[in-house]
Amino acid sequence: MKANLYTNKKRWKWALAAIALLFIAASLWYTNRLVRSIAEQETRQVKMWAAAMEQQAMMMKSTEDFFNKVSEQEQLRVDLLANAYRRLIDISSNENTAVYLEILHNNISIPLVVTDTKDNILFKSNLPPNQDTKRAFDEEMKATYSKFPPIKIDPGYGIVQYLYYNESLIYTELKAVLEGMIDHFMEEITLNSVGAPVIITNEDQSKILSFGNLDSIQMRDTAFVRHQLEVMRNENDPLQIEFMNTGKASIYYRTSDLVEQMRYYPVVQFVVAALIILIAYLLFSSARRSEQNQVWAGMAKETAHQLGTPISSLMGWIELLKMQDKPFVGTFEMEKDMERLQIVADRFSKIGSVPVPEPTDISFLIRDTMDYLQKRFSKRFEFEINLPEGELVMPLIPSLFRWVLENLTKNAIDAMGDKGKLTLDLIDDGDHIHIDLSDTGKGIPKSQIKQVFNPGFTSKKRGWGLGLSLAKRIIEDYHKGKIFVKSSVVGEGTTFRITLKK
C-alpha cells in the first residue's frame, strides 16, 4: 500500500533528522565542554589575582604601619626641635643666640622659615624648590605652614621675629612614596590583567573610590552600581583593606563579562544552528514543492491538450447520433458525460494558472454536482443532500470546486465498499459557510488523520494519493478556506468539513 510507502519515507526523514540532531548535539556537547574549561580556567585566574591582591593589600598595610611609626618618630623630632627653639629663645644671651643659630643651620630635614613682623623672609632652610626662591612669606606659604603655630623670637633687641616650621622632609618624602604606592595599587586593582570587573568602595559603600572593566556611563546609574555590587558579593567575598588617607575600603570583584558570554555561547550556537537548519529545510521544501508544482502543471496542461482532440471528435459523433431517425436512447446522458469531460479538461488546463473566482450559487453547484455523481454510482449507495432554501451566492471557481466535491465523494464511496450512505450538509452561520460530507465507511485511524492531505498518501492499492492533496490546495490557495477531517471513527465512518468565508 502507498500509505506504507509514505510512512516509510517519513520514517527515513525522521531518521535523517535524528542523525543531524545527533551531530549537532555532539558538537554542542564538545563546545560546551570547551567553554566550561575556558571559563573555569579564567575563574581560577581571577581567584589567583584576588589572592595576589589580598597579599599585596597585607603588604600595603605593613608598609602603612611602618610609615606611621616613622611618622610618629618624625613628629617627635619636630616637637622636640620646636621645644628646643622655645627654650633657647627664652634665654636672651649672645651665647644662647649663637647656639640657636647653629641649631637652625645644622637642621637638614625640617623646613624652617624665619620672618620679621612684615613677613619678610630673614632665614630659610630645607624648603622645596617652589618656595626656596621666595623673599616674602605669602599666603600660600602661610597655608603650607599652618599645621604648627609659629614660634615668636624676641631676643630682647626690640626686633621681633617668627619661626615657621613644617613636617620633616623625610616624612613628606615617605608620605609621597606611600601615596604613590597606594595609587599604583588602586590602578593595578582596577586595570587588572585578567579583565575582572572591580568596584572599590569606602567602608559603608556610600562612595565609589574607583572601578575598572565596567562601562563608565553605566556606572553613573545608581541602580546599575547596586546590581553589580550584589552580583559581586554573591560571587566572591570582598577584599578588605585600610588606606592611610581614605580609611577602610572594600574591593568587590567578579569574573569577566567574557566568561558570562561564553556560558551562553552553546545556547546561541544551538539557536543559530537550528535556524540555519530550519531555513535550509524551508528553502529546500519550497524549491522541491515549486519543482513538483511545475511538473504537475505541465502534465495537467498536456493532458488537457491531449483530451481536446478526442472530445471534439466524440461531440461530432453525438451530433450524428441525434440526427438519426431513431435517436440513440443514451444520447442525453452521453451529452452530459461529454460536458463533464470538457469540465475535466478545463480543470487540467487551469492548473498552474491563477483562476479568478466568480459569483456562484453554491447551493445550485452542489446540487448539480451531486445529482450527476449519484446517477453514476450504484443504487446501493444512498445520497442525502441537505441544502438551505434559496440562493447562496459566493465567489467560487466552479470547475475547481466541483473537483473537490467529486474527490471527496469518490473517496467516501471507496471507503464504504459495496454499500452505504453519504450525507452532505450545507450550514450557513452568517460569517462562514460549512460543508460537511459524511460517509458510513471504514473510517481513518487517528495516527493517519494528519497525513491524509499529504501528497502521495493513500490507502488504496491503485490510488496516487493526490485527490485530497489537490482538494486542500484548491480550498486553501484558491478559495482562502479550510478543509479538514472533522471526525472519524474506525468502522463507523468519516466526516470532512469545508469552511469558506462569505
Which of 334, 441, 450, 347 is CA-nearest to residue 401? 347
d(CA 12, CA 42): 45
Nearby residues of 70 by Cβ (< 8 Å), 6 or more positions away: 170, 171, 174
Residue 97 has a pLDDT of: 56
In eight-state DSSP terms, residue 468 is H
Residue 1 has a pLDDT of: 46
Q: How do residues 276-293 score in pLDDT, each as one tens digit?
A: 878 887 887 777 667 666
Q: How do residues 153-193 score in pLDDT, each as one tens digit?
A: 776 667 788 888 887 777 777 777 777 777 777 677 766 66
Residue 45 has a pLDDT of: 73
Cell matching residue 347 = 480543470
Residue 404 has a pLDDT of: 92
CATH numbers and ranges of domains, the chain: 354-501 (3.30.565.10)
d(CA 445, CA 434): 24
Three-state SS sequence of 275-319: HHHHHHHHHHHHHHHHHHHHHHHHHHHHHHHHHHHHHHHHHHHHH
Strand partners, 434: 427, 499
Residue 400 has a pLDDT of: 86
Q: Are 189 and 53 in contact (CB under 8 A)?
A: yes
Using 70 as the pLDDT threshold, list the residues of the chain that sit under it: 1-10, 13, 46, 50, 71, 74-75, 77-108, 155-157, 186, 190-194, 243-247, 260, 263, 288-289, 291-306, 308-309, 327, 329, 347-353, 455-465
Q: Count Cβ neighbours within 10 Å for each residue of 150-183 and write b for 16 or more, e otherwise.
A: bbebebeeeeebbbbbbbbbbbeebbeebeebbe
Residue 2 has a pLDDT of: 46
Residue 101 has a pLDDT of: 58
Cell matching residue 3 = 500509505
